[in-house]
């Protein structure tokens, strides 16, 4: 059973009441970060990190909406007790539906070397609201490759049905080809398994990918996640493996609205070709690193396919029902 609410205003995060028919930012109450956006069965879904101390990050909530304005909270869709190898720092979900099952990819344990147990795991459920259960009994990726900490995974399905995972912290990004049952990774056509696609020295973490008009877009976060300079940049390539060369920054703080705007995902509504960037940010005047809230704003392209700088707002976005 979920808890339903329209945009709820909290003094720590809000400056004004949003206009009628708008989501408001943040779109739901509570400290949540690293949001994963997905559309399942005519519902918008957001799966965020619960933004607490690492030792208290022991479960995930999810949120669903028919229209981007009215959100239902689904508590504890994945609990650490159902991940036998995890002990803390459950981070940054990624979601995929395949064959009537829902696969929930996550980071756990914040490993600092290959000597520690942790990394990227995967859980599965028959419903988008869970409950999800660990699929493998161990990490899917549990070691460093090309210098990338195994965190912040995003799963991308290409037009030929191949699933790729893009991931990596510590200023390195990798792409891997997932096995069809998501139980592991397998070599790509050229024989490589862990291919580095770091787009430049500014890259820090939080990669995600989408495809538009035959081009592959890679987005990622730059700066420090606890500070005001956290932001999002992007690149475009002709192939899923790149090369990706940084084009520029498109999401960042606005001293009149919020700071530390980063770690994004996207909603794309094909019916009217609407694009929305889903991200977290820090409320103005708040200096606690984990005080992060989840927000949504419009994302627009120019005639050449470049992403225009996003204007972060307090009002959020207008309702856009999926049916």
- Any idea which residues carry the catalytic annotation? 34, 205
Ramachandran category for residue 157: left, alpha or beta (phi over 0 → left; psi -120 to 50 → alpha): beta
Neighbours of 246 (CB within 10 A): 17
| Residues paired with residue 83 on neighbouring β-strands, in sequence order | none
Q: What is the rounded CA–CA span in Å between residue 206 and residue 219?
A: 8
Tell me the two tokens of residue 316.
Answer: 């959020």
Q: What is the rounded CA–CA span in Å between residue 159 and residue 67?
A: 27
Radius of gyration over every alpha carbon of the chain, rounded to an integer in angstroms: 18
- Residue 120: strand, helix, or coil: strand
Strand 274-283's sheet: what is its strand order? 258-269, 274-283, 293-298
Cβ atoms of residues 119 and 106 within 8 Å: no
Q: Which residues lie closer than 8 Å to 190 by C-beta, 6 or more apart?
A: none
Q: What is the rounded CA–CA span in Å between residue 24 and residue 318?
A: 9
Q: Which residues lie closer than 8 Å to 280 by C-beta, 6 or more apart?
A: 32, 33, 34, 35, 48, 51, 260, 261, 262, 263, 292, 293, 294, 295
Cα 3 from chain centre = 22
Q: What is the rounded CA–CA span in Å between residue 126 and residue 211?
A: 27
| Residues paired with residue 125 on neighbouring β-strands, in sequence order | 102
Neighbours of 255 (CB within 10 A): 8
């Amino acid at each position: 059973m979920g808890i339903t609410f329209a945009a709820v205003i909290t003094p720590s995060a809000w400056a004004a009441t949003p206009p009628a028919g708008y989501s408001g930012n943040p779109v739901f109450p509570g400290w949540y970060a690293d949001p994963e956006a997905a559309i399942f069965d005519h519902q918008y879904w957001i799966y965020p990190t619960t933004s607490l101390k690492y030792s208290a990050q022991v479960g995930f909530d999810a949120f669903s909406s028919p229209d981007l304005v009215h959100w239902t909270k689904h508590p504890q869709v994945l609990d650490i007790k159902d991940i036998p190898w995890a002990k803390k720092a459950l981070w940054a979900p990624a979601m995929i539906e395949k064959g009537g099952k829902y696969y929930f990819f996550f980071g756990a344990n914040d490993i600092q070397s290959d000597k520690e147990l942790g990394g990227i795991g995967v859980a599965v459920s028959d419903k988008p609201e869970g409950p999800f259960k660990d699929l493998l009994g161990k990490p899917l990726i549990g070691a460093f490759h090309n210098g990338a900490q195994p965190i912040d995974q995003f799963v991308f399905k290409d037009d030929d049905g191949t699933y790729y995972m893009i991931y990596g912290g510590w200023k390195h990004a990798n792409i891997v080809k997932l096995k069809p049952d998501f139980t592991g990774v397998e070599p790509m056509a050229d024989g490589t398994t862990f291919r580095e696609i770091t787009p430049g020295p500014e890259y820090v973490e939080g990669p995600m990918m989408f495809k538009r008009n035959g081009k592959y877009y890679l987005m990622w976060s730059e700066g420090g996640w606890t500070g005001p300079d956290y932001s999002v940049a992007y690149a475009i390539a002709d192939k899923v493996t790149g090369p990706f060369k940084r084009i520029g920054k498109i999401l960042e703080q606005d001293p009149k609205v919020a700071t530390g705007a980063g770690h994004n995902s996207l909603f794309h509504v094909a019916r009217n070709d609407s694009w929305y960037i889903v991200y977290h940010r820090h409320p103005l005047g708040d200096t606690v690193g984990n005080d992060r809230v989840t927000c949504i704003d419009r994302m627009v392209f120019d005639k050449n396919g470049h992403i225009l700088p996003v204007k972060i707002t307090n009002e959020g976005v207008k309702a856009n029902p999926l049916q």
